[in-house]
């Protein structure tokens, strides 16, 4: 092991009285933290488990893309949550806002959110978020929130993503203490999650940070590329696009990829 491992005891003691992080599982290697989290969620009533891996052999992103993360350099985790179906739409907002805030604290730079859930710094992707959930008739059994944040990673060493990805190390020139970063991040996310549980919703705060609004975008949906202007987001985070003929269309994150940078 070449990297400095996370200080798991410090993480556990710092988060023991929170909802998010009251159970933390830490692995050197997993196929994907999403798979592990799903197995736990199916057999366990409680929420707030955080599953962290230093290395993933099959880390995945949205639309089944690969997620690339060098072992021990970044943060790759999944959180088991049990919101209601109505609260589910806000989990993505809480996650992107939390990544946004912790990155802003660490860099003094202004990150942006690319709809629906990429966080960018200096116009390059620093974090990706993936939410997978399971329903039973109309009830949500659980949601797994997967987050990857590029911390001490040098994207130049990974040709596939070197032109589109960045990291805290690349932007600040400093190696970051991942344990302290993660404690800050999970505390921020826990506070947002409590707001959601109390039916305080986050759309206004979230939409004010979305760089996509007001821009011309290309939407890929079922293999077709559609061009339009992103006008606004709805209360539960869908994006409204206006086409050149003034017709508007609501698009949901699950259906489309946004091609604009």
Q: Catalog residues that contact ligand BTN under the rule CB under 6 A.
A: 32-34, 56, 59-62, 65, 67, 76-78, 118, 128-130, 146-148
**Nearer to ligand BTN by C-beta: 14 or 56?**
56
Minimal distance, residue 204 CB to ligand BTN, in Å: 24
**Nearer to ligand BTN by C-beta: 200 or 218?**
218
Minimal distance, residue 102 CB to ligand BTN, in Å: 16
Minimal distance, residue 208 CB to ligand BTN, in Å: 22
**Nearer to ligand BTN by C-beta: 34 or 233?**
34
**Nearer to ligand BTN by C-beta: 126 or 241?**
126
Minimal distance, residue 150 CB to ligand BTN, in Å: 10
Minimal distance, residue 199 CB to ligand BTN, in Å: 27
Q: Looking at beta carbons, which residue is closest to ligand BTN?
A: 128
**Nearer to ligand BTN by C-beta: 102 or 147?**
147
Report d(CA 195, CA 105) in Å as an integer. Answer: 21
């Amino acid at each position: 092991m070449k990297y400095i491992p996370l200080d798991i005891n410090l993480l556990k003691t710092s988060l023991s009285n929170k909802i998010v992080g009251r159970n933390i599982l830490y692995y050197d290697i997993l196929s994907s933290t999403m798979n592990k989290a799903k197995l736990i969620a199916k057999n366990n009533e409680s929420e707030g488990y955080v599953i962290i891996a230093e290395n993933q052999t099959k880390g995945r992103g949205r639309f089944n893309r690969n997620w690339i993360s060098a072992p021990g350099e970044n943060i790759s985790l999944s959180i088991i949550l049990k919101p209601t179906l109505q609260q589910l739409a806000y989990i993505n907002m809480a996650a992107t806002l939390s990544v946004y805030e912790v990155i802003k604290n660490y860099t003094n730079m202004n990150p942006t959110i690319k709809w629906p859930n990429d966080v960018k710094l200096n116009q390059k992707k620093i974090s990706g978020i993936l939410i997978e959930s399971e329903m039973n008739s109309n009830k949500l059994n659980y949601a797994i929130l997967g987050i990857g944040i590029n911390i001490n990673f040098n994207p130049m060493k990974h040709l596939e993503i070197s032109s589109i990805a960045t990291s805290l190390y690349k932007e600040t020139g400093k190696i970051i203490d991942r344990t302290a970063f993660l404690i800050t991040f999970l505390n921020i996310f826990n506070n947002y999650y409590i707001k959601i549980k109390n039916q305080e919703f986050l759309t206004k705060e979230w939409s004010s940070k979305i760089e996509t609004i007001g821009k011309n975008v290309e939407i890929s949906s079922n293999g077709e590329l559609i061009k339009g202007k992103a006008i606004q987001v709805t209360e539960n985070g869908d994006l409204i696009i206006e086409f050149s003929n003034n017709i508007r269309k609501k698009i949901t994150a699950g259906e489309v990829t946004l091609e604009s940078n």
